[in-house]
Amino acid sequence: MTISEIFNKMEWGTAPENDKNAKAWLKENKNKFGHFINGNFVDAKNHFKTKNPANNQFLANIAVGSKADVNLAVKSASNAQKKWAKTGGHARSRYLYAIARLIQKHSRLFAVLETIDNGKPIRESRDIDIPLAIRHFYYHAGAAQLMEDNLPNHEAVGICGQIIPWNFPLLMLSWKIAPAIAMGNTVILKPAEYTSLTALLFAQICIEAGIPKGVINIVTGDGTTGSLIVNHKSINKIAFTGSTEVGRKIRFETSGTGKSLTLELGGKSPYLVFDDADIDSAIEGLVDSIWFNQGQVCCAGSRLLVHETIANQFYKKLKLRMKRLRVGDPLDKSIDMGAIVDPKQLSLISKLVNKNAHEGNLYQPNIEMPNKGCYYPPTLITEMEPSASLMQEEIFGPVLVSTTFRTPKEAIALANNSRYGLAASIWTENINLALDIAPKIECGVVWINSVNQFDAAAGFGGRRESGFGREGGAEGLLTYVKPKTKTAELKKQKKYKKSITKSNSLGSLDKTLKLYIGGKQVRPDSGYSKAIFGPKGFITHIGEGNRKDIRNAVEAAHKAGSWGKTSGHLKAQILYYLAENLDKRSLEFIDSIILSTGAKKEIARKEVETSISRLFYYAAWADKFDGAVHDVPIRGVTLAMNEPLGVVGVICPEENPLLGLISLAAPLIAMGNTCVLIPSVSSPNIAANFYQVLETSDVPAGVLNIITGEEEAFVKTLSEHHDIAAIWYFGAGNNSGEIERFSTASLKRTWVNNNKTRNWHSNGQGKEFLNNATDVKNIWIPYGE
C-alpha cells in the first residue's frame, strides 16, 4: 500500500490489549468464585458460567446466592454495622482511601477484566469506568471525613442491599458502596449475573485494604438472589440500578416495610441539536453518547431531536461518521464499539428493531462486522413520529432514533414527551438558549454541548419512570443517612362524640366549610358533608371531597405551575405576608385549636406562634436554598439546581392541625411546588379557617388546594394519580405502605411516616423538608473555545 493510499483510506491498525494477567488471575482463582461474606470467600452449592461476549469463551463459574447465603451476608453486615458507624469519619475515610489506592494500583487488571466480562471497549473501561470508580472512592473518603461537619445530627441508615446492572459493573459498584460505607452503613451488594468478575476482584481488594469483616459483603447470583436481598427483613435500605420493570417490582415489594429506597432506572434521553450548533462537535458527541458502551447506557442520548433547518445536512454528516465507526474486538484499543453484553440482550435489540424499524427510515452503515460474538451495528432510524414505539421504548443498544423540531418550544415539548426523565444533551452555540432550555427539561442531568459527563462530586439520577434519589455529590449522601431522632408508634387522636344533639349543637347558622380549589371555595362534588366534633361537641360541617375533587385540585395545581418559576424573593414576600395575616387572626386560630382538640390555651397559643415562625423560616429559605456550583474535573462548571418537584399530594398529620399543615405546605410552596393538601382528618376545620387567610395573602390561585374528608378516600387516588409528582404522608392511619404500593405504577417519590410520631414543634422544620421538596438537577456547562 502506498503512502497516499494510506492517507486516503485513513485505516487504523489493530492495537490489541493483552489479557494475559486477567486470565492468570482467573486461573489463580481456579476459574471459580464463592461469595464474599464477613471478610472471607464462602463457597456455594450452585454456580453459573460467565462468558466473554466477544468470543463466547468461558471465563469462570460464579456462585448462585441462595437464601442461606443472603441470610449469612445480612447477619455479617448487621454484626458489623454499629461498630463501623462508631469508628468515626476519619477512620472510615482511611479505609476508603486505601480502597481507592489499591484499585488504582491494579487499574489495568480491573480494566481488562471488565472488558472481557462485559464486552465494552478497553478504551472505555481503561479511561472511563475504572478512573471514575477510583474517583468515587477518593471523593467519598473525603465525605466520610467531613460527615460530622456536613451532616450534623445524622446517622447511617443501617444495612443496605445494593443491586447493580451489568453495563458499568465496577463503576456502579463504586457508586453504591462508596457513599454507603462512608456514611457508616454496611452493605450486601449483588452484581449483575453477566458481570460479577470485577466485583470479586474488588472483594480481594477489600481484604488487602483491611476493611473490617462484614462491612462489605458481595453475594453473586441472578434476579432471584436480588429478590432475596430486596425482601430480607433486616435490611434497612435498598439501592437499585437497572430496568424500570424490575425497579417497579422492587418499589412494590419494599412498600410498607419501612425500607428506604432509591431507584436509578431506564431512560430515553433527548439529544437536542439546534441550527446554530457546532455540527461536527454534535456528531462526535453522538458517538460518545449512543455508541458509547454499545448504547447500553441508561442516560444514552438515544432520541435525537434536530432543528428542521439543518436536519438533512446533519443526517448526511452523521451517516458519513457512522461509516467510519469500527466495531470489533473490545480488547483492541482502536475500536469504537465492542460487543453487546450477552446473546440475550443482542436478540432483544434485534427483535425490537426488526419489529419496529418500519416506523421510520433505517440506516445501518456497510461496515465490517466481526463474524463471531455478540455484535450489533450502529443504527440510525430517522423520520420517526414522536409517539412511535422506538421513540418511546428504551432499546438499550446502539440504536439512535430521530425526529425534527421547528422551534425551541417544540424541542422542549418533544424532549419531555417521554415517560422517562433521566438526562438530556443540548447542542447550541447560544448559551442563553441552552440555559433557558436546561431547566425546562424534566430530567436529573443536562449536558450542554457535551455528553456523558460524570463525576463523584455531581449527583446523578432521574425523575418520573427513571426513578428517584441521587447518586454522587452531596445529594447522593443524603440517601445513606437519616436524622437522629427518637420516634414512637403513632396513635390516633381521641375521637369525640359522634352525634349532634340539642345540647352540643353550637347554633343554627350554616357552618358547612367548603373545599378550596384553584383559589376558590367550592362545594364538594359528592354533595356530602361531615360533622366535626371537638371535646365540647359539634363544631361544624366540612365538605367531603372525593376523586373528582382531587382531579380538579390536581388540574388547578398544574395550572399554577408558573409558581415554580417565580423568584425566591417573591415567594418569600408571599410567605411573610401569609405569616402576617395568620398573626392578625391568631386569636381566632387559638380558639379553633382549643375547640377541636381540647388543648390548653397555652398549648394552642404555642401552636399558632410556632406556625407563624415556621412561615417566616421558609420565607427565609425561599431565596436561599439555591443549589451549588460543583468542582468537577472539567474545564467548565456544573450547576446543581434545586428544582421543585411539581404537584405534590400532602396528607397532613392528625395532631397539631395548624402546625402540621404549615410545616408541610410551607417548604413545598417555598421551593416552588404546588400542592393538593388533605388537612388533619379530625380537625379539618382549622384548614378551612386557613384558606380564608390564604385568600387575603396573595398566594396565587391553585398553589395550595385543600380538600377535606376521610383520609381513606384520598390515599389511593393521590398515590395513583399520574400527574402528581410526589406524595408526602404524615397521616393518622397506617397508610404509609398503601401510599408506597399505590405509587408503584407512576413511580412517584414518596415521603411517609411509617406510622411513627414526629414532634412538630421541635422537629418539624429544616433541610430535611427542603430536600424532600426538591430534586437536584445537575447542568454541565463546559467552556472555552
Q: Decide if 64 contacts 46 (C-beta within 8 A).
A: yes
Part of the chain binding ligand NDP (CB under 6 A), chosen from 36-44, 76-84, 218-226, 700-708: 218-226
What's the closest the beta carbon of residue 223 comes to ligand NDP, in angstroms? Answer: 3
Nearer to ligand NDP, 176 or 514 (CB): 176
Q: Decide if 47 contacts 367 (C-beta within 8 A).
A: no
Is 33 near ligand NDP (CB under 6 A)? no
Positive/negative CA dihedral, 113, 119, 121, 125 = negative
Is 222 near ligand NDP (CB under 6 A)? yes
At 285 the three-state DSSP class reads: helix
Residue 755 main-chain phi, psi, to 5 deg: 55, 35
For cell 392528625, the residue is 654
Is 227 near ligand NDP (CB under 6 A)? yes
Told to judge if 298 belongs to the known catalytic residues of this protein, a careful annotator would answer yes
Q: Which of residues 723-762 bind ligand NDP (CB under 6 A)?
A: none
Part of the chain binding ligand NDP (CB under 6 A), chosen from 162-170, 206-214, 380-388, 590-598: 162-170
In whole angstroms, what is the distance from residue 473 CA to residue 479 CA? 11
- DSSP track, 464-478: GGGEE--BSHHHHHH
Is 421 near ligand NDP (CB under 6 A)? no
Is 166 near ligand NDP (CB under 6 A)? yes
What's the closest the beta carbon of residue 196 comes to ligand NDP, in angstroms? Answer: 8
Give the residue nearest to ligand NDP (CB): 226
Is 167 near ligand NDP (CB under 6 A)? yes
Tell me the per-residue interface mask from 228 to 257 with ligand NDP, x by CB under 6 A, - otherwise. --x----------xxx--x--xx-------
Is 348 near ligand NDP (CB under 6 A)? yes
Among 212, 266, 519, 709, binds ligand NDP (CB under 6 A): 266
Beta pairing class for 636-644 and 628-630: antiparallel
Is 193 near ligand NDP (CB under 6 A)? yes
Is 485 near ligand NDP (CB under 6 A)? no
Is 163 near ligand NDP (CB under 6 A)? yes
Read off the C-alpha cell for 542.
Answer: 366540612
Sheet holding 303-307, edge to edge: 361-363, 379-382, 399-405, 303-307, 270-273, 423-427, 445-448, 774-782, 636-644, 628-630
Is 419 near ligand NDP (CB under 6 A)? no
Part of the chain binding ligand NDP (CB under 6 A), chosen from 158-166, 577-585, 707-715, 720-728: 158-166
Among 109, 157, 173, 192, binds ligand NDP (CB under 6 A): 192
Spatial CB neighbours of 717, under 8 Å, sequence gap ≥ 6: 547, 550
Q: Which of 193, 264, 442, 471 is catalytic?
A: 264
Is 47 near ligand NDP (CB under 6 A)? no
Read off the C-alpha cell for 203.
Answer: 472483594
Is 298 near ligand NDP (CB under 6 A)? yes
Residue 489 DSSP class: B
Is 394 near ligand NDP (CB under 6 A)? yes
Part of the chain binding ligand NDP (CB under 6 A), chosen from 116-124, 159-167, 444-452, 643-651: 159-167
Among 65, 212, 226, 564, binds ligand NDP (CB under 6 A): 226
| Residues near ligand NDP (CB under 6 A), total | 26
Part of the chain binding ligand NDP (CB under 6 A), chosen from 157-165, 314-322, 680-688, 752-760: 157-165
What's the closest the beta carbon of residue 256 comes to ligand NDP, in angstroms? Answer: 17
Nearer to ligand NDP, 69 or 193 (CB): 193
> Quick one: 573 exposed, middle or buried, by C-beta within 10 A (0-12, 13-18, 19+)?
middle
Part of the chain binding ligand NDP (CB under 6 A), chosen from 187-195, 510-518, 525-533, 765-773: 187-195
Q: Decide if 32 contacts 61 (C-beta within 8 A).
A: yes
Part of the chain binding ligand NDP (CB under 6 A), chosen from 29-37, 204-212, 219-227, 308-316: 219-227
Nearer to ligand NDP, 190 or 614 (CB): 190
Read off the C-alpha cell for 682.
Answer: 379530625
Beta pairing class for 445-448 and 237-241: unpaired
Among 88, 131, 223, 627, binds ligand NDP (CB under 6 A): 223
In whole angstroms, what is the distance from residue 377 CA to residue 357 CA? 14
Told to judge if 253 belongs to the known catalytic residues of this protein, a careful annotator would answer no
- DSSP track, 697-747: TTPPTTSEEE--S-THHHHHHHHH-TT--EEEE--SSS-HHHHHHHTTTTT
Nearer to ligand NDP, 187 or 522 (CB): 187
Alpha-carbon distances, residue 149 vs 91, 143, 278, 525, 611 (angstroms): 15, 10, 44, 52, 29
Q: Which of residues 531-590 bind ligand NDP (CB under 6 A)?
A: none
Read off the C-alpha cell for 771.
Answer: 430536600
Q: Which of 206, 298, 299, 675 is catalytic?
A: 298
Q: Decide if 196 contacts 50 (C-beta within 8 A).
A: yes
Helix 657-670 with 684-695: angle, nearest 10 deg: 40
HEC per residue, 29-84: CCCEECEEECCEEECCCCEEEEEECCCCEEEEEEECCCHHHHHHHHHHHHHHHHHH
Interaction site with ligand NDP (CB under 6 A): 163-167, 190, 192-193, 222-223, 226-227, 230, 241-243, 246, 249-250, 265-266, 298, 345, 348, 394, 396
**Catalytic annotation, residues:** 264, 298
